[in-house]
């Protein structure tokens, strides 16, 4: 089986009618920008194909008055898109990888993980606080974030600040920051601000010692039907090997911890000289209790590999037949090993208490 996907397109390109690939996406401006970037990459590989974008609203887009961690639904931003995929209304769906649960519903797989952009979190300040940092904001300043992960880490690091939930798409959150006098700053993913062309609003980038990022943050995932070999071949060319392996390790860590958006879990990964480094941590809701560790594994990504029929192609919801299987398994094992280390040291208690408190509030 070829991993380059060219065979998937050739027969259709030579036919009298140009083939149309239907691409599902959320309706927000950022989601559309992200989807357009993936479609542009696919067009570069397959100039003979046409792409039609199908935009829809998801549960997470509709429920805007509740913190994400309270809604209790793992597939907040994906369920409606997967429903369209299942009904054959679209051929593939573009997601922010951090929105995709580590266990996908049966019948779906992530067929491509594109090259990761900046995975860090960024601080955007109210106009009157431009030039400040979180450290220099006045006592009791209110910082907006929709993420328990960010709030827990930053409360621990900046105890003079107060953290409050803020929901809505990027446009809405920036408008709330600028127009209401409620927030001194808000925390957003740097990648989203970059994709929207709003780099000028970034007042501070949070580095790992201040705030580690979410699993998969900064990467885009392309979801397809697991049995659609044609589409798997087509999108597989978009896999970025380093991003893929880092994200497999991160997702395996989160899955083994049984974490999700209702508990504060964060990661940091790096590839250097054939070594994959994974730092992972868990926090109590207020950040007072925490635990983090770092592990590394040797990863070889040189030789191409083709799965035999006996192989289960999916690892943490991802199918990547054109990336060496041995490297993928090493990345997955790294994530599982780090999660096991933390669990053995008592991380389960921190997570259980965080879950209970989050459910109670």
343 and 231 within one domain: yes
Please report whether residue 10 resides in a domain. no
Residue 356: per-residue pLDDT: 85
Between 149-153, 156-160, 259-263, the lowest mean confidence (pLDDT) is in 259-263
Supply φ then ψ for residue 292, to 5 degrees: -145, 150
pLDDT band at 17 (very low <50, low <70, confident <90, very high): low
Long-range contacts, stretch 7-10, CB < 8 angstroms, 24+ apart: 7/233, 8/230, 8/231, 8/233, 8/234, 9/46, 9/48, 9/49, 9/234
pLDDT of 179 strictly over 80: yes
Q: Is residue 68 part of a domain?
A: yes
Is 191 part of a structural domain of the chain? Answer: yes
Average pLDDT, the chain: 88
> Is 11 among the domain residues?
no
Where among 186, 205, 224 does a domain terminate?
205
Q: Is residue 8 part of a domain?
A: no
Q: Which value, in Å, is the radius of gyration of the alpha carbons in the chain?
A: 21
Gap between the Cα atoms of 3 and 9, Å rounded: 13
Q: What is the mean pLDDT of residues 52-60?
A: 77
Query: In terms of domains, do 107 and 142 share one?
Result: no
Has residue 171 been placed in a domain? yes
Out of 65, 91, 99, 178, pick the active-site residue: 99
Lowest mean pLDDT segment, chosen from 121-135, 192-206, 289-303: 289-303
Predicted confidence (pLDDT) per residue in 74-106, tens digit: 445 577 889 899 999 999 999 999 989 899 999
Are the CB atoms for 95 and 221 separated by under 8 Å?
Answer: yes
Q: Which of 68-82, 173-187, 188-202 has the lowest mean pLDDT?
A: 68-82
pTM of the model: 0.88
Tokens of 329: 């398994």
Give the domain range for residue 79.
20-118+215-360
Please check whether residues 224 and 190 belong to one and the same domain. Answer: no
CATH of the domain at 103: 3.30.160.40
Residue 180 lies in a domain: yes
Classify the C-alpha dihedral 148-152-153-154 as positive or negative: positive
Identify whether residues 161 and 37 lie together within a single domain. no
**Domains held by the chain: number:** 2
Q: Are residues 227 and 243 in the same domain?
A: yes
pLDDT digits (tens, 9 = 90+) for 215-238: 999 999 999 999 999 999 999 999
Whether the CB-CB separation of 241 and 323 falls below 8 Å is answered with: yes
Same domain, 342 and 273: yes
**Are both 219 and 195 inside the same structural domain?**
no
Residue 98: DSSP 8-state: G
Of 205, 225, 254, the domain-final residue: 205
Query: Are residue 69 and residue 152 in the same domain, yes or no?
Result: no
Q: Do strands 314-315 and 318-319 pair parallel, antiparallel, or not at all (unpaired)?
A: antiparallel
Q: Is 61 a catalytic residue?
A: no
- Looking at the fold, whether 259 and 335 belong to one and the same domain comes out as yes
CA distance 279 to 300: 20
Point out the domain boundary residue: 205, 228, 253. 205
Q: Are 126 and 183 in contact (CB under 8 A)?
A: yes
Distance from C-alpha of 192 to C-alpha of 68, rounded to nearest angstrom: 18
Q: Per-residue pLDDT averaged across 114-129, rounded?
A: 97
Give yes or no: residues 90 and 136 share one domain.
Answer: no
**CATH code, domain with 154:** 3.40.190.10
- State the pairing for strand pair 50-56/108-113: unpaired
* The pLDDT value given to residue 310: 42
- 190 and 101 housed in the same domain: no
Closest CA to 26 of 5, 2, 48, 54: 54
Question: Per the domain annotation, does 9 fall within a domain?
Answer: no
Q: Measured between alpha carbons, how far is 55 from 63 in angstroms, rounded to an integer? A: 18
CA-wise closest residue to 79 among 87, 67, 336 = 87
What is the maximum alpha-carbon separation in the chain?
Answer: 68
| Residue 61 sits in the same domain as residue 201 | no
């Amino acid at each position: 089986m070829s991993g380059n996907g060219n065979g998937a397109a050739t027969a259709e390109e030579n036919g009298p009618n140009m083939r149309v690939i239907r691409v599902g996406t959320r309706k927000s401006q950022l989601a559309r920008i992200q989807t357009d970037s993936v479609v542009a990459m696919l067009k570069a590989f397959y100039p003979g194909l046409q792409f039609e974008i199908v935009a829809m609203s998801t549960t997470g887009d509709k429920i805007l008055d509740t913190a994400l961690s309270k809604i209790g639904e793992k597939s907040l931003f994906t369920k409606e898109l997967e429903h369209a995929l299942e009904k054959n209304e679209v051929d593939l769906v573009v997601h922010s990888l951090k929105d995709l649960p580590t266990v996908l519903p049966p019948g779906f797989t992530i067929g491509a993980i594109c090259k990761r952009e900046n995975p860090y979190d960024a601080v955007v300040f109210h106009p009157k606080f431009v030039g400040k940092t979180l450290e220099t904001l006045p006592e009791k300043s209110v910082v907006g974030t929709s993420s328990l992960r960010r709030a827990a880490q930053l409360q621990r690091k900046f105890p003079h600040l107060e953290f409050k939930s803020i929901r809505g798409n990027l446009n809405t959150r920036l408008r709330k920051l600028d127009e209401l006098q409620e927030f001194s700053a808000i925390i957003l993913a740097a990648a989203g601000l970059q994709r929207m062309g709003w780099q000028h609003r970034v007042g501070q980038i949070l580095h790992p010692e201040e705030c580690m990022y979410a699993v998969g943050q900064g990467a885009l995932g392309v979801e397809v039907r697991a049995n659609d070999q044609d589409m798997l071949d087509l999108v597989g060319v978009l896999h970025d090997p380093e991003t893929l392996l880092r994200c497999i390790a991160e997702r395996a860590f989160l899955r083994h911890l049984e974490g999700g958006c209702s508990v504060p879990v964060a990661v940091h990964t790096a590839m250097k000289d054939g070594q994959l480094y994974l730092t992972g941590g868990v926090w109590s809701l207020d950040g007072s209790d925490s635990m983090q560790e770092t592990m590394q594994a040797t990863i070889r990504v040189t030789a191409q590999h083709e799965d035999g029929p006996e192989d289960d192609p999916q690892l943490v919801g991802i199918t990547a037949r054109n990336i060496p299987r041995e490297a993928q398994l090493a990345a997955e094992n790294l994530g599982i090993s780090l999660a096991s280390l933390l669990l053995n040291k008592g991380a389960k208690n921190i997570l259980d208490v965080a879950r209970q408190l989050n459910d109670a509030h």
